[in-house]
Homo-oligomer: A and B are copies of this chain.
């Protein structure tokens, strides 16, 4: 493989995964617009998670993602982590209003897009904050780009559920 080819494939790989992130966020935005606040308060299937829980859960996971990517030093929405990540749905009674979660979602997506745009090629392939230098030396897949990849998959998994609210 020539130097040029290796560089080209590296750039292509980053674009493939970031494109999936962008596209998944776009799908989520379109879906959330189609779902009324009432629809988001319904269960995706009888006895299963409600839409509002999944919306808050996605925000909490993406908030944590920014720290794992070393793009933030602390959680931006720490008050959401307990009710939407540590606790299951319906365990916490006083959740934020759906309208508030919608606003946070949009603000967060814009912030993430801005942050992602500033990450350089080598940084995407550097270790994330939850892996040690020693472990990363033998497992180079535990890089920042892979964190985005797994979060895309996580997002699509839950979008598959939220689409059932339509």
Contact = CB atoms under 8 A, between A and B. Distances in A.
Contacts of A152: 153
How many copies of the shown chain assemble into the complex? 2
A164 B7 contact: no
Interface of A: 1-3, 5-10, 12-13, 15-17, 19-20, 24, 44-46, 48, 121-122, 125, 140-141, 143, 145-146, 149-150, 152-153, 156-161, 164
Contacts of A121: 1, 9
A86 to B, nearest CB: 20
25 contacts: A1-B7, A3-B3, A5-B10, A6-B6, A6-B7, A6-B10, A8-B140, A9-B10, A10-B13, A12-B140, A12-B141, A12-B143, A13-B13, A15-B141, A16-B145, A16-B149, A20-B150, A20-B153, A45-B45, A153-B153, A157-B159, A157-B160, A160-B161, A161-B161, A164-B164
